[in-house]
Amino acid sequence: MTEPSITAELVRKHNLTPEEFDQIKRILGRDPSYTELGVFSVMWSEHCSYKNTRPLLKTFPTKSRNILVGAGEENAGIIDIGDGLAVAFKIESHNHPSAVEPFQGAATGVGGIIRDIFTMGARPVCAVNSLRFGPITEEASDGGNPKSEIANNRRLLAGVVGGIAHYGNCFGIPTVAGEVYFDVCYEGNPLVNAFCLGVLRHDQIARGKASGIGNPVFYVGPATGRDGLAGAAFASQDLTDESAEQQRGAVQVGDPFMEKLVCEACLELLATGAVAGMQDMGAAGLTCSTCETAARADTGIEIELSKVPQRAPDMTPYEIMLSESQERMLVIVHKGREEEVKRIFEKWDLPWSEIGTVTDSGRMVVRNHGQVVVDVPAKQLADDAPVYHREAREPEYLKSVRAFSLDEVADLTDPCDTLRKLIAWPSIASKNWVYRQYDHMVRNGTVVCPGSDAAVIRIKHDSIPATPGRLDAGWDGGNTCKEQVPNSAEPVAVGKEKLIAITVDCNATYVYLDPYEGSKIAVAEAARNLACSGAAPLGTTDNLNFGNPHNPEIFYQIRESVRGLAEACRVFKAPVTGGNVSLYNQNPNGAIDPTPTIAMVGLIERKEHITTQWFKDEGDAIILLGHAVDESDPLLGLGGSACLKVVHSRKTGTPPSCDLEKQKELHEALLSLIYTGDIKSAHDCSEGGLAVALAESCISHQIARGAFDLTGAFVDLSSAPDVRLDALLFGEAQGRIMVSVSALNAVKVVERAKILGVAAFNVGIVGGTALKIKTKRGEWSWDLPELHRLWWNAIGDAMRQ
């Protein structure tokens, strides 16, 4: 097939600027071929090169004594969890593909992040996701949303959740936590951020390097097709109806059963020591895997495309190199050990082919039937994409945001209906319609299921990849793992059972209204959710979802958001181990709200420290850690609040301020109290404020499928500051946690919290069949079965319409 001539229009269609094209010519010393143009276009896309955000990403804290593989080094970061064990984790987006083909877009997003984890030598043990859609109810659509848009939002939600469930359930990985938000800004621009965590020993860390001159290069996995063609480039441009239709082929098609075989084969292969390097063919497919592995090792790589298994006839070199067909891996094998590799691939019934060799040229050379079609310097292709320092300008809308005052909205006179509306608002309501489609118990390692502040999993002996000569003997009935090791008659203890907590958080409304403060809050809430579960943070992975960086107002959001994230991660000692930047999340109607999703992983020292959000026993005391109201905030916590959006249809006002040092003191104090054994439940106060947090603590304990433990409470807030009723009950001031303790320990816990520098107030008692709240303005009561029905059924009822 004759390749097209390289014209200015063709360069533009590849999303490259004239200046970038000139740089390519300088690197090559000539004009690129058509295939080379495609190779540069995907590798220099924002999705692969971070050319618009790299200077900002360098400001993140990325070091700690526990980090074994840091941000940007490999496919995922790895953190030590003690006793020779480590966890690998990362979050990535699949936003544009999910907008075009929600089922396959979301499914392959899960598949891609799973591959990032087992590529590191870790066994994937759990998945998490963060999802954003347009409104699915007329009440939440600001009144002006056509029914057709609401129907489309429901279609996208159903497709995305179905895709995540399909891939995770078939692969056999539990989806244990997540978040789902609904806002008109995501209409047509859903966000699908997928997280995966895996487990390995320190000595099992694999590297994505094409090391060892003369080592053979193997392709393993299904044949390459035309699906997913140039997906990385598609994800690096604005989403329009025209681009979506044109790029429908850029959405990959996944096969979770094949991925399971590839995972097991790769982990077995890594255990043999025959592997010199391994990389998955994710974004940019064969292009990315070849040039990046060579660049990391300062070597070259040469491959022959006629040896690449191909699913479609007459595929061109351009199509083969840019295809993002799923479940494929590139494996660099130590020379002389090829037969071991072939035996393992054939054992798992996997297609494979030896397609190339590691060279000392420093170049990525691609041949097709012996003819050179790509010859480029590997390191310059992988690492020398242009870096831009974009103009940043404060958005005009922030002037009206800061000008907003509470005089513009009336206070509540009766909060009963407001709590009912908030608890049934899809962004606050139970997400059981979503997570009941996921298998969150497969592998039997889930300790705290979806529905509490954070998920908790235990690292079982069969979660750790096998090592030759070591046979897992299991746990000893307590919390110690034992192994059968060579030259030992009896199993020996190799470490305590590990308990890992995971959460994902971001209130994008806050970030829209104040990118710096809102991003600090996102990190603080993640750390607070971990603390409420009994965990101290280990590290963070982030997914930065924003609009077009060429818009100075959008780039201001990005810059200020990164500044807030970096500052907060330093304070909480939760370094960034890696992540993903997803830009161009906008359509002709505008950009999404800036959404820097934060996934944070923490370690729980003992199983006795695991804490959940629901009230436990009648007669327990309810204690508020932190102040009921932040009187220093002119908006009393109502800026950007759920109450302001649901009751008044206003998304405005400066969000609550976030004092990171005070937040850190609060989290450390809570953990100290949990370690004493006095805390029975802990739940952070976030969207919806104190009243929603109390309601959730009363109604969220599911004891069996279809059965719930609804536990009432009486809470007296009459000693709180005399402020607006909506601010007291539904304001979202930061740094507040609702805990319950036995009545006998209440005084002790309050005094101990104060000694630790945290305000604490005994505000109520657990018990009864209703939630009752008393304030200076009056006393109100809510029937628990009604609240539960509204909360539990809100999303399901909307999806059945």
Tens digits of residue pLDDT in 677-716: 999 999 999 999 999 999 999 999 998 777 889 999 999 9
Instruction: Render pLDDT for 140-184 as a digit per residue (tens, 0 to 9).
Output: 545 456 677 999 999 999 999 999 999 999 999 999 999 999 999
Give CATH for domain 67-205+430-460+497-610: 3.30.1330.10
Q: What is the pLDDT of residue 588?
A: 82
pLDDT at position 536 over 50: yes
pLDDT at position 372 over 60: yes
Domains 1-62+207-385 and 611-801 equal at CATH topology level: yes
Element (H, E) at 52: none
Measure the CA–CA gap between 174 and 655, rounded to whole angstroms.
35
The first and second tokens of residue 425, run together, are: 């608002």
* Per-residue confidence band for 471, with pLDDT thresholds at 50, 70 and 90: very low
Q: What is the pLDDT of residue 321?
A: 95
Q: What is the pLDDT of residue 487?
A: 46
Instruction: Render pLDDT for 624-643 as a digit per residue (tens, 0 to 9).
Output: 999 999 999 999 999 999 99
Measure the CA–CA gap between 362 and 391, rounded to whole angstroms.
35
Instruction: Render pLDDT for 83-97 as a digit per residue (tens, 0 to 9).
Output: 999 999 999 999 999
pLDDT at position 492 over 80: no
Q: What is the pLDDT of residue 247?
A: 54
* Per-residue confidence band for 777, with pLDDT thresholds at 50, 70 and 90: very high
Instruction: Render pLDDT for 272-284 as a digit per residue (tens, 0 to 9).
Output: 999 999 999 988 8
For CA atoms 8, 12, 14, 18, the dihedral sign is: positive
Q: Which of the 8 DSSP states describes residue 654?
A: P
Domain spanning 1-62+207-385: CATH 3.40.50.300: no
- Catalytic residue numbers, as ranges: 47, 94
Give which of 397, 398, 402, 404 is closest to 644, Cα–Cα: 404
Which residue type is seen at 501? A
Domain boundary assignment for the chain:
1-62+207-385, 67-205+430-460+497-610, 611-801
Measure the CA–CA gap between 189 and 100, rounded to whole angstroms.
9
Parallel, antiparallel, or unpaired: how do β-strands 576-582 and 536-545 relate? parallel
Measure the CA–CA gap between 594 and 549, rounded to whole angstroms.
11
> For 615-619, what is the mean pLDDT?
97
Q: What is the pLDDT of residue 701?
A: 93
The first and second tokens of residue 605, run together, are: 């020292």
Q: What is the pLDDT of residue 284?
A: 85
Q: Which of the 8 DSSP states describes residue 383?
A: H
The pLDDT mean for the chain works out to: 92
Q: What is the pLDDT of residue 147?
A: 72
Give which of 629, 623, 618, 614 is closest to 738, Cα–Cα: 623
User: Which one has a higher pLDDT value, 227 or 778?
Assistant: 778
Q: Provide the b/e sequence for 59-87 (b: ≥16 CB within 10 Å).
A: ebbbeeebbbbbbbbbbbbbbbbebebbb
Query: What does 584-650 look like in DSSP terms, one character per residue?
Result: --EETTEEPPPEEEEEEEEEES-GGG--BSS--STT-EEEEES-S--TTSTTTT-TT-HHHHHHH--
* Per-residue confidence band for 469, with pLDDT thresholds at 50, 70 and 90: low
80, 68 in Cβ contact below 8 A? yes
Instruction: Render pLDDT for 225-270 as a digit per residue (tens, 0 to 9).
Output: 988 775 445 445 555 655 555 555 567 889 999 999 999 999 999 9
Give which of 528, 537, 546 is closest to 576, Cα–Cα: 537
Measure the CA–CA gap between 618 and 621, rounded to whole angstroms.
9
According to DSSP, the residues that pair with 456 across neighbouring strands are 448, 501
Q: What share of the chain is helix, strand, coil (3-state, %, to 5)?
A: 40, 25, 35
Instruction: Render pLDDT for 547-578 as a digit per residue (tens, 0 to 9).
Output: 999 999 999 999 999 999 999 999 999 999 99
Q: What is the pLDDT of residue 477?
A: 41
> For 106-116, what is the mean pLDDT?
96
Q: Which CATH class is domain 611-801?
A: alpha beta
Residues, the chain: 801
Q: What is the pLDDT of residue 495?
A: 56
> For 484-489, what is the mean pLDDT?
46
> For 18-26, what is the mean pLDDT?
96
Measure the CA–CA gap between 461 and 483, rounded to whole angstroms.
9
